[in-house]
Amino acid sequence: MGSPMDTLKCELCGLEHMPGATRCDGCDQVLGQPLDIPGMREELRQMRLRVLLSVAALLLMILGSFVLFEGAGVIYLTAPIAIGFHSAWRWRALSRHLRTLATRRT
């Protein structure tokens, strides 16, 4: 049984990790590095754009499937789906943390 001192805590979401972990399982933050708030704001903008592009790609795949196969076939690419999910998940962690900082300041 390890003590709480044996674990690494994520600076962004507070999730505890085993020693030696390099990235957070909860929010994909690099562990053991100070938070870069301006960098996080920029990343938040990028993640929002990626989510929008992934949704657009998904809609184009659905539309393409109907145009090419008239509903009988499906164009299915996992990359836009995976990028969309990862970006949405990271965007959520960043926006939560930045919102918490904003409410603490006011």
Nearest to 2 by CA among 19, 22, 25, 26: 19
Q: Residue 57 Cβ, how far from Zn ion at the closest point, in Å? A: 27
Q: Which residue's CB is nearer to Zn ion, number 80 or number 90?
A: 90
Q: Does residue number 27 form part of the binding site for Zn ion (CB under 5 A)?
A: yes
User: Can you tell me which of 8, 17, 21, 26 binds Zn ion, judged by CB under 5 A?
Assistant: 26
Site for Zn ion in 35-94 (CB under 5 A): none
Q: Which residue's CB is nearer to Zn ion, number 21 or number 58?
A: 21
| First-last CA distance in the chain | 41
Nearest to 39 by CA among 12, 16, 17: 12
User: Can you tell me which of 3, 7, 17, 24 binds Zn ion, judged by CB under 5 A?
Assistant: 24
Q: Does residue number 13 form part of the binding site for Zn ion (CB under 5 A)?
A: yes
Kindly indicate which of the ranges 21-29, 34-42, 67-75, 76-84 contains the residues binding Zn ion, using the contact rule CB under 5 A.
21-29
Do the beta carbons of residue 9 and residue 15 sit within 8 Å?
yes
CA distances from 105 to 87, 98, 100 (A): 27, 11, 9
Kindly report the number of other CB atoms within 10 A of residue 19's CB atom: 9
Residues that bind Zn ion (CB under 5 A): 10, 12-13, 15, 24, 26-27, 29
